[in-house]
Amino acid sequence: MPRSPYGTLDTIEYIGPRPQKPKKNFFGGWVILLISVGMGLFFGRPLLASLRSEQVVATEAAADRMIEELQESQKPGDRLAVTALRMTKQDQSEHAVSSSADLLLKSYRMALGIDIKELLHEDMSNAFAQYPQLWYERGPDKEVDSSRIPNIQRFFHRSGDDVSQSEFEVGDVIFWTLPDGNAHCALIVPGPGVHANEKWIVHHWQNGVAWENKLKEFPMVLGRYRFGQ
């Protein structure tokens, strides 16, 4: 037997069926794709609906519905909420609101007949040293003091119920320090539509009265009170 030129390695002849290329499953990829799209639509639809509702809930129509629900209530907090919500849909001609302090004073006067401006002046006249000394004033100034949110917050702290550690309720007044160092305040109201069980705020923001889901967006809380309730 002749020797192989490669030493002892001989060529082995393959005997059997010819190897076949694997067949492509044309429908498999499309089925997986269709299933994925279907699952995305099924699970994504509630999220899209939620996002869509977030964009349209705080409308004048939503304010009208909430006012209608609350206006028969005799609870002071509900009456404050109704008054504040009405300010979100006014043209600002009859009761123009110039600041969050102004919103608060007008809400109390119109809803509960409480004149915060007068009460604040009386208390500052009796205990001026207990109020923030930030403006180099030597005594109370009735026309200016009630426009300063730190003064209103101190008045509520001295005269109202501090409820900072309790559950949020409609009609609560909350005070913050904003990131720029300025003081800010708002009234707590129900959310609109499907958000009615949530707590939103009405406040003066960016040159207008807004009804927004921003209760927890300002972390530096100075206090929360239920004055007049």
Q: What is the pLDDT of residue 19?
A: 57
Whole-angstrom distance, CA of residue 189 vs CA of residue 80: 8
State how beta strands 209-212 and 199-204 pair: antiparallel
Q: What is the pLDDT of residue 89?
A: 82
- Going from N- to C-terminal start, the domains of the chain cover 25-56, 58-225
CA max distance for the chain? 127
Is the whole-model pTM more than 0.75?
Answer: no
Q: What is the pLDDT of residue 95?
A: 64
pLDDT band of 48, cuts 50, 70, 90: very low
Question: CB under 8 Å to 200, separation ≥6 — which residues?
Answer: 58, 188, 189, 190, 191, 192, 211, 212, 213, 214, 215
Looking up tokens 């005070």, which residue turns up?
175
DSSP 1: -
Percentage of the chain lying above the pLDDT 90 cut: 65
Whole-angstrom distance, CA of residue 85 vs CA of residue 81: 6
Per-residue pLDDT at 47 exceeds 50: no
Residue 13 token pair: 């002849």
Whole-angstrom distance, CA of residue 54 vs CA of residue 52: 5
Per-residue pLDDT at 61 exceeds 60: yes
Average pLDDT over residues 42-52: 44
The more confidently predicted of residues 78 and 37 is 78
Average pLDDT over residues 26-41: 58
Percentage of the chain lying above the pLDDT 70 cut: 72
Average pLDDT over residues 95-107: 91
Handedness of CA 166, 168, 171, 172 (dihedral sign): positive
Average pLDDT over residues 40-47: 49
CB atoms within 10 A of CB 228: 21
The mean pLDDT value of the chain amounts to 83
Per-residue pLDDT at 9 exceeds 60: no
Contacts 24+ apart (CB under 8 A), 15-19: none
Beta pairing partners, 211: 202
Average pLDDT over residues 198-212: 93
